[in-house]
Structure 1
Amino acid sequence: MPSQGVKLYVQDKHVLTLCFPLFISFFVLTTFFGFYHLQVVLDNGILQVTISNPDGILTAIQYNGIDNLLAVENQEADRGYWDLVWNLAGSKGTKGKFDRIEATSFEVIVENEDQVELSFTRTWNPSLEGKVVPLNIEKRFIMLRNSSGFYTYAIYEHLKEWPAFNLDRFRVAFKLRKDKFHYMAMADNRQRYMPLPDDRLPYRSQTLAYPEAVLLVDPMETEFRGEVDDKYQYSCENKDNRVHGWICNDPPVGFWQITPSDEFRSAGPHKQNLTSHVGPTTLAVMHSVHYSGEDLILKFGSNEAWKKVFGPIFIYLNSLSDAGGNPLSLWEDAKQQMRIEVQDWPYTFPASQDFPQSHQRGNVSGRLLVKDRYVCKDYIPANGAYVGLAPPGDVGSWQSEVKGYQFWTRADEDGYFCINNIWTGDYNLYAWVPGFIGDYKYDVIITPSAGYDIFMGDLVYEPPRDGPTLWEIGVPDRTAAEFYVPDPSPMFVNRLYVNHPDRFRQYGLWERYADLYPDRDLVYTVGVSDYTKDWFFAQVTRKNDDNTYQGTTWQIKFKLDCAANETETYKLRLALATAHAAELQVRVNDDGKSPLFSSGQIGKDNTIARHGIHGLYRLYHVGIPGNLLLEGDNTIFLTQPKSTSPFQGIMYDYIRLEGPASSNGNKKP
């Protein structure tokens, strides 16, 4: 196809598209019930994107002979849009006011043959207090010459004198044509033909424990009968959430959402967010409270100034040049395009001065080593460590940090790391190392400068450790993935996850605990049991015959070859992968005593219900006086007593018992 410049024009939505030789052209508009109904159209000869003016909502995407890829059966405002959920300051919970952000003014920022960039803005003022979120919001859209797609990003701003408020989530949503897009892909091993939205209608499905999950009892496509559909089964960690979308078979067309960087997303690389799901819907989630709860609500004070850029993300469209080609090859092409976008980050073309380009950013590098004398006398290279810069805070605060930017990388096998393209500002350097518990923080504030490299030299992380390991359960990797995940009930299956590494994404696994342990709770014997087979992945409640629930107490049985030193303290390390409205109590050798340790009620992660294998990481250190331990048989009791819901519970990451510091390490379990 010959190269064609990008064209921009405005039209009335009730008349045929007119294209002028100028790059932006206006013409006399007709009226409809006394109002002008404007649309802005971007056209580069490959695709055509129609945006409502001044709302800034995508109403049509024309590509490869399809007049509109978006859901034509929906209202125009319900096709492609930025949205958010907010609430008044002091509000409790994670529910709020839904706002499909409608702008009130339109401006052309860039207009030439190579690029058009548009701005749609909603400016807040005191007359809007309580009606819309107190933010200035600018949505931008970019189309480039010869690009098979378009970009969008947004700038949110809260001025110091404006009211306090809470912000729960914000994202970009695209709803596609259900008669066209039936195949969804988000990873090489997470892709499939999907049910129709009609299959979720009340007369075709049965709502399960919460509205998002339904059992398909009479779907239009019989192949889905008996399956569970739930959007949370397609959640993904930020670090892996680079490209996902949908494929249309006739004609073969792919619609992909590509996110080349996580710098603007909240809570670090391991935060889980929604991707694509039945609709067909594809989401670019910038911030959410999923798998974390109220800990991740953005809470703004009345004297707090804030400004942040979200995106750009790229909406990529592709098609087959060979009429006989395999439509699934569009996924491979989308992955290749994703790699190109990641390589091109930070983009050079966004015109906003609020988005710094590469020469306006800095770099930080160094080496991370681990010092644990009970593992090795020498320093240990932090192989595969996650190393990042996030706003200053406490140790581990990055996982609940929601207002600033974060920049992460992984160390190589020798512990060397390099974090590139960092916004100028003040940061702490944080890290965690697979295979070791706890979090590292470099206490000195780091301030990268534009165009400069900071070399940190050798940094040393000393993970929590008082004495030698007497025994351990699990692998310290911040997930419960290594523990026993049961098969789902045959009544509640998503066939994608049968014999799949992510088997934990099946619906209803919390009820399988009572099936496996109908009369008594889990007992784990150190040296005999195998945590991959004998440690259930989540300590959940047990459902009774009367549909009530009860807490559970798990036991860890172990032996000490000789009597414990009564004057010394042993240390129990409990790393949790998630918690939801739970409490963790620890008792030693007497289940009837008051607990030696209680966490109090912790967590609103809701990971168990949403098919995750981790939420927020928590680490507890319990000192066990030697006079509580016996020569020979010992038992640690782990009780989770909260029991009003099937979703209350804990997932363990790793448990370790350490001997006292003076121990010679010969007290083998």
Structure 2
Amino acid sequence: MHFKPACCCYYRFQYMAIADNRQRIMPMPDDRLPPRGQPLAYPEAVLLVDPINPDLKGEVDDKYQYSCDNKDIGPHGWICTDPLVGFWNITPSNEFRTGGPLKQNLTSHVGPITLAMFQSAHYAGDNLVPKFQNEEPWKKVFGPVFIYLNSALTGQDCSVLWEDAKEQMMTEVQSWPYSFLASADYPTKEERSSVSGRLLGYQFWTRTDYDGYFTISSVRVGDYNLYAWVYGFIGDYKYDGKITISSGCDVDLGEIVFEPPRDGPTLWEIGIPDRSAAEFYVPDPNPKYVNKLYVDHPDRFRQYGLWERYTDLYPNDDLVYTVGTSDYQKDWFFAQVTRKGENGTYQATTWQIKFDLDSVNQDGTYKLRVALASAAMAELQVRFNDPKANPPHFTTGIIGMDNAIARHGIHGLYWLYSIDIPNTQLVVGVNTIFLTQANSTSPFRGILYDYIRLEGPPSEELPHHSH
């Protein structure tokens, strides 16, 4: 949905706010059109070569730079400084959105435009798009969405409008579900229920000590599954059985235990299992393509064109990571993308992980856990100590359509692979794992790693578990 304020000419609305640390003066719509704007690799991205506001010259404007995880979407909108007026998009509940808390959606961008995204394939592909057969009956209530207008006295700082919008967001969340809707398809507060319990995450030899209690309020009547994941652990939890919610009840699941995948002790690991590539090395942008909002910003990955920086840093040879010496925050590029070649071509890339083994267990199988934070029409091939093994020891095939790399995301859909390594594939001394992203048809074909772990064979202290 596009909203244009009726209180004054929309060109007056030049200041956009979507989070405490994501606010800025924005370009005008005309700035995106030639000759003021120069299109870049895709239509959404434009280089501002002659903007109406000269302070913005040389910056990149791209609506995907203002995406946000569902869990983090708060009030977002625009401020007019003369008169001091704000208009805000407030969505009190995410119950009608697909994809869960980590699904990313657009918020606001040049127009001035503010969006209430109900469903989309952004950062996910078709996997999260509802599909229906011909004449299949289906209905769903979207929203409602709260549009909030506020104002302040001339001379006050525009931040008062933003702070007021955040307070209003809290009010609307507490008011959910709204009582004024008359539709039979929208259950009232009295007809809704809650689910509570305690989720315990642990690995086999230690139990975590955090409480893990949870409550999900305002649940509509129906049959549900319960899924969970825990920061610092790979894999997904799924509740064994369905949860039936009836009108006006409180369901207590008690203590439910998540046993993350593990067969043997950790020999080494790269990254943090948090479903994001944010902990890896994110380069500075090309000086030609900077959005000043993200300079010295936690979301530095939102800069345009970072996929091309891999070729700048590795023009001839690919990344090599040495366990025990390399630092994944500095030495592991955040995205395994293609290398730009000559005449508009792109090349597959092969990364290496080198590690030492003092001995090789001859009685068991090793396990490589590879968790991906994103994939975009990528094929990850894995080889052990033989870069030319054909076929590779493991391949994902072509996976993923979330386009997180092109859309300045640090994660998309999550993928977890558990790869058996026969002890015959390993040697005493230096070993090398070769990771090839084989699809080189585009600069946007690639993967974001979340976490990689090598496990030794199961031992008496770590009995084998099936998952």
Structure 1 and Structure 2 fold alike (TM over 0.5): yes
* Contact 2:5 2:87 (C-alpha < 8 Å) held by counterparts: no
Q: Which residue pairs with 2:365 in the alignment?
A: 569
Q: Determine which of 342, 357, 370 is the counterpart of 1:545.
A: 342
**What is the 5 A alignment of 1:349-360?**
349-360=180-191
Deviation at 1:58, TM superposition (A): 9.4
Q: Determine which of 105, 111, 129 is the counterpart of 1:279.
A: 111
**Where in structure 2 are there 5+ consecutive unaligned residues?**
463-467
2:168 pairs with 1:337: yes
Deviation at 1:380, TM superposition (A): 2.4
Paired residue type of 1:284: A
2:231 pairs with 1:459: no
Deviation at 1:475, TM superposition (A): 0.4
SS in 2 for 1:232: helix
Q: Distance in 2 between matches of 1:428 and 1:616?
A: 19
Q: Determine which of 357, 360, 363 is the counterpart of 2:194.
A: 363
Paired residue type of 2:226: L
Q: Determine which of 142, 155, 158 is the counterpart of 1:327.
A: 158
Q: Distance in 2 between matches of 1:283 and 1:230?
A: 15
Q: Note closer, same or farther for the CA distance 1:202–1:323 as it changes in structure 2 (3 Å cut).
A: closer
Q: Distance in 2 between matches of 1:664 and 1:453?
A: 41
Q: Which residue pairs with 2:443 in the alignment?
A: 646
Please report the TM-score for the alignment, with normalisation by the length of structure 2.
0.96
Deviation at 1:370, TM superposition (A): 2.1
SS in 1 for 2:371: strand
Q: Which residue pairs with 2:412 in the alignment?
A: 615
* Contact 1:567 1:627 (C-alpha < 8 Å) held by counterparts: no
Deviation at 1:372, TM superposition (A): 1.3
SS in 2 for 1:298: coil
Q: Which residue pairs with 1:425 in the alignment?
A: 222
- Runs of 4+ in structure 1 over 2 Å off: 57-62
**Where in structure 1 are there 5+ consecutive unaligned residues?**
1-56, 70-176, 382-412
Q: Distance in 2 between matches of 1:216 and 1:330?
A: 28
Q: Distance in 2 between matches of 1:642 and 1:178?
A: 44
Paired residue type of 2:417: Y
Please report the TM-score for the alignment, with normalisation by the length of structure 1.
0.68
TM-superposition CA deviations, 1:618-645 (whole Å, max 9, x none): 0001000011111111110000011010
Deviation at 1:60, TM superposition (A): 7.9
Paired residue type of 2:194: N
2:379 pairs with 1:583: yes
Q: Distance in 1 between matches of 2:286 and 2:266?
A: 38
* Contact 2:2 2:115 (C-alpha < 8 Å) held by counterparts: no
Q: Which has the bigger relative contact order, CA under 8 A and spacing at least 6?
A: 2
* Contact 1:565 1:627 (C-alpha < 8 Å) held by counterparts: no
Paired residue type of 2:389: K
Q: Distance in 1 between matches of 2:310 and 2:2?
A: 46
Deviation at 1:434, TM superposition (A): 0.5
2:51 pairs with 1:219: yes
Deviation at 1:59, TM superposition (A): 9.3
Deviation at 1:186, TM superposition (A): 0.3
* Contact 1:467 1:663 (C-alpha < 8 Å) held by counterparts: no
2:203 pairs with 1:372: yes
Paired residue type of 2:400: G
Deviation at 1:584, TM superposition (A): 0.6
Q: Which residue pairs with 1:495 in the alignment?
A: 292
Identity of aligned residues (%): 66
Q: Distance in 1 between matches of 2:277 and 2:15?
A: 30
2:324 pairs with 1:527: yes
Give the root-mean-square deviation of aligned CA atoms. Answer: 1.5
SS in 2 for 1:305: coil
Q: Which residue pairs with 1:659 in the alignment?
A: 456
**What is the 5 A alignment of 1:31-430?**
62=6, 66=7, 69=8, 177-320=9-152, 322-374=153-205, 376=206, 379-381=207-209, 413-430=210-227
Kindly tell me the number of residue pairs found equivalent between the two proteins: 461
* Contact 1:469 1:658 (C-alpha < 8 Å) held by counterparts: yes
TM-superposition CA deviations, 1:347-389 (whole Å, max 9, x none): 1111222111111011111111123124x1xx325xxxxxxxx
Q: Which residue pairs with 2:465 in the alignment?
A: none
